[in-house]
Structure 1
Amino acid sequence: MTVLWEPVRGAIDTFGIALGDDVTVVAHAASIDREVGSGDHHLVVIGPEVPAESAYELAEQLRIDRPAVGVVLLRHRLEVSVLTQALRSGIREVVQADDHAALVDAVRRSEALSARLGVAAGEPGSGGHVVTVFSAKGGVGKTTVAVNLAAHFATTGARTLLVDLDLMFGDVGISLQLPPTTSIMDLVSMTGHLDGQGLASVVQTHEATGLDVLVAPHDPADADRVPADLVSELIRLARSTYDYVVLDMPPSMPEHVLGAFDLSDLLVLVSTLDIPAVKNLRLAINTLDTLGAPQQNRLLVLNRADLKVGLSAKDVESAIGYPVSVGLPNTMSVPAASNRGVVLAVDEPKNPFATALREFADHKVRPRFGEEPTRNGSRRIGRRRRAK
């Protein structure tokens, strides 16, 4: 249900069609707290005649007291200064008052966001699991592993967020064919005060899997503008909201990657059967050891493990110092799935790659956190469940 704050009479006649049937009109801000306090209202639309400063003050209050309640601001003219201050205040959308189609879309987006925030607010906050997927060389299939792993968690009942931390050349968004709308760049202005509403406002949902995704900046030049402190803040917040947070890393170790390593519960190392990939991963492991990262929280994934190239899985194990947890077969279905924007582990469940990936997720990753799969592939953990 929606609260419309507009002191001018006849507001319901002007905006009623766009807002739907369940609308309560109030003329004063004092009435809003009573209405949203009932728990039935999840959206406040502030009319164009309400002074901007009053709108900002209300939004800031609701952001703290009732983060699941969305605020949409209507203005007669859209100005940059208004948009900037609205973002800082926690207003989700600013819409031109005479654009009723845009208002309908804004209401729909805000209601969907409130539903997600409402589910998160009602769940235990003991913390989810942070799984980091890393390789020290590009082209080994790291993003493929991260995407398929995260999607499998999401489709089997776990509330899952996939974060692309390859800030310069991240491919998660394009692999899932997500529209280039929001990215981690939209969180930069929230550094130091990031909250659940801010995070939810930039996350996109992959419709086929229900996986939440935060993509890398669309412009590689923006990579240096994302502070390492923001990345750490983001991971801590996401852990309190999701069952699984899967991080797709760049093949390097800048400051934000090292910070993410410190917050990770499990590190999934990806390699292929080629000497440069093995050598670089060995050097990366040496660096992790030097930094004091826990050695027991690492799993080794060997991608394209069935290729006959003069190097064996045992050779890789000997060089890396870890046993291979899973060997993923080489198949053209992987790039084909990426080109179609689908997740192989979900779209073609009987594909050998998909089968191996699910076995790895259910029998190597989940047991690390005291979880076990049920017969139908869903998890049995007695914690948070994705809302249907």
Structure 2
Amino acid sequence: MTFYVYVEPDAERRSTAGAVYSEYGFAIVDSLADLEYHLPRNPETLLVMIGATVDLEEALTFAAYQRVQRPLLGVIVLRRTLEPDVLARAMRSGVREVVDELDAEGIRVASARSIDLSKALSTTLRSSPDVQRAKVVTVFAGKGGCGKSVVATNLAAALCADGSRRVLLVDLALQFGDVAIMLQLPPNRSISDAISMAGKMDEAGLRSVITPCRPGLDALLAPSSPAEGEHVSRELVTEILEVARDMYDYIVLDTPPAVTDQVLSALDLTDWFVPIVTPDLPTLKSVRLTIEMFDLLEYPRDRRLVVFNRANTEVGLSLEDVEEAVGAHLSVHVPSSRDVTVSVNRGVPLVLSDPTHPVSLAIRKLADRCAGVSSNVESRRRLFALGRKR
């Protein structure tokens, strides 16, 4: 991880001052363009020190943009001479301090102050009840045909809670995503349209590539061409999710049946891990490997909700057999039903077309677990609502 960055186009300064800064953990880049490439790949960065030969207008523009997009990021500008008008303009642009490039002690003190401020702001934002970032729920299966996309689309619709929550459904199956066809959405916009915005993604940019589904539910679709998906980088996925977490209450990720770089970047930001199990030996093996991978990556066990899909299928495997095979407790049991296929062909999630269907009730139980809501309370609310409609 890189917490500090020093930007200096001048090769001589980079070799002298840069050598000193690198000993303190600074990454060294030679332009603001390289810095724009560096930051999305290092979202934990707390401090950027802009060298004296960087154009002042470009430095101030960068600081003004980052003040809104990344308020935790501190910007210090080094100058050869300190002029009053430069100091005033820098402060208005969001620069935390302007320091003489030869004042080593001043640079050290300014850096320490800026880092302390960033850490304090981070703690304040995390503890503030008014600041809620979206919970990321990743639905994953090690092989195809498990009903993963059905679970993901229905889960997103259930979390939406009739429009009272904001939910983004992201199709990370970049080569052969099914979300668009399952929800009958026009593939006019997709995640591949965000490629040109890599390194500078913001809320307006993300909104330009999402597709509204219904009140409270949006979708970020997979590319219509498999070739386009190859150009969606891990870093872009991270950047999209970081921006989306400030726009939504929940983000549901439908993933491919493979552990790609893009999937790993999503898993690193995930709050709830939802592996899908079906009662067949190849799937049980793949889920066991998935659970072991989660353990290896130290993803928290109490944040895993294993879904037993087609749980009522009679294939000679008991519930105990399945749990022993995958090495995990099965949190939610979703029964098999032909109505699921009918709902997929209609393009309407079953939780919306038939809220009291056994499959819908199971998915809503999963949604309640993700939302931290008591299923019993929610069930009473729904029954009361149904009673009033009659």
Check the 8 A contact 1:132/1:266 in 2, yes or no: yes
CA distance in 2, matches of 1:292, 1:65: 33
| Unmatched tracts of structure 1, length 5 or more | 1-59, 68-122, 379-388
Check the 8 A contact 1:273/1:313 in 2, yes or no: no
1:300 and 1:292, CA in 2 relative to 1: closer, same or farther beyond 3 A?
Answer: same
Q: Secondary structure, in 3 states, of the residue corresponding to 1:318?
A: helix
Answering whether residue 194 of structure 2 is matched by residue 187 of structure 1, we say yes
1:349 CA drift (Å): 1.1
Q: Secondary structure, in 3 states, of the residue corresponding to 1:162?
A: strand
Check the 8 A contact 1:133/1:246 in 2, yes or no: yes
Check the 8 A contact 2:170/2:221 in 1, yes or no: yes
CA distance in 2, matches of 1:172, 1:260: 17
Q: Secondary structure, in 3 states, of the residue corresponding to 1:225?
A: coil
CA distance in 2, matches of 1:147, 1:322: 24
Check the 8 A contact 2:159/2:371 in 1, yes or no: no
CA distance in 1, matches of 2:338, 2:65: 47
Check the 8 A contact 2:310/2:334 in 1, yes or no: yes
Identity %: 44
What are the within-5 Å matches in structure 2 for residues 327-342 of structure 1?
327-342=333-348
Amino acid in the other structure paired with 1:195: D
Amino acid in the other structure paired with 1:181: N
Alignment correspondent of 1:367: 372
* Partner deviation per Cα, 1:117-171 (whole Å, 9 max, x = no partner): xxxxxx9543110011001111101111110011111134111000000111110
CA distance in 1, matches of 2:318, 2:245: 37
Answering whether residue 362 of structure 2 is matched by residue 356 of structure 1, we say yes
Q: Secondary structure, in 3 states, of the residue corresponding to 2:252?
A: strand
Amino acid in the other structure paired with 1:166: A
Check the 8 A contact 1:125/1:241 in 2, yes or no: no
TM-score by length of structure 2 reads 0.63
What are the within-5 Å matches in structure 2 for residues 369-384 of structure 1?
373=378, 375-377=380-382
1:272 and 1:196, CA in 2 relative to 1: closer, same or farther beyond 3 A?
Answer: same
CA distance in 2, matches of 1:319, 1:365: 25
Check the 8 A contact 1:136/1:251 in 2, yes or no: yes
Answering whether residue 251 of structure 2 is matched by residue 245 of structure 1, we say yes
CA distance in 1, matches of 2:161, 2:213: 11
Alignment correspondent of 1:257: 263
Answering whether residue 181 of structure 2 is matched by residue 206 of structure 1, we say no
| Unmatched tracts of structure 2, length 5 or more | 1-61, 70-128, 384-390
Alignment correspondent of 2:167: 160
Q: Secondary structure, in 3 states, of the residue corresponding to 2:245?
A: helix
1:287 CA drift (Å): 1.8
CA distance in 2, matches of 1:359, 1:138: 24
Alignment correspondent of 1:216: 222
1:187 and 1:258, CA in 2 relative to 1: closer, same or farther beyond 3 A?
Answer: same
Alignment correspondent of 1:309: 315
CA distance in 1, matches of 2:303, 2:67: 38
1:314 CA drift (Å): 1.5
Larger Rg: 2
1:282 to 283, 288, 295: 288
What are the within-5 Å matches in structure 2 for residues 1-388 of structure 1?
124-156=130-162, 157-207=164-214, 210-362=216-368, 364-367=369-372, 373=378, 375-377=380-382
CA distance in 1, matches of 2:350, 2:65: 39
Check the 8 A contact 2:165/2:216 in 1, yes or no: no
CA distance in 1, matches of 2:134, 2:248: 6
* Partner deviation per Cα, 1:315-356 (whole Å, 9 max, x = no partner): 111122221111111111111111111010011112111122
1:263 CA drift (Å): 0.4
Check the 8 A contact 1:299/1:322 in 2, yes or no: no
1:292 CA drift (Å): 2.2
Alignment correspondent of 1:77: none
1:368 and 1:355, CA in 2 relative to 1: closer, same or farther beyond 3 A?
Answer: closer
Q: Secondary structure, in 3 states, of the residue corresponding to 2:305?
A: strand
CA distance in 1, matches of 2:335, 2:172: 26
1:297 CA drift (Å): 1.2
CA distance in 2, matches of 1:309, 1:66: 56
* Partner deviation per Cα, 1:291-326 (whole Å, 9 max, x = no partner): 222222101101110010111222111122221111
Check the 8 A contact 2:160/2:217 in 1, yes or no: yes
1:375 and 1:269, CA in 2 relative to 1: closer, same or farther beyond 3 A?
Answer: same
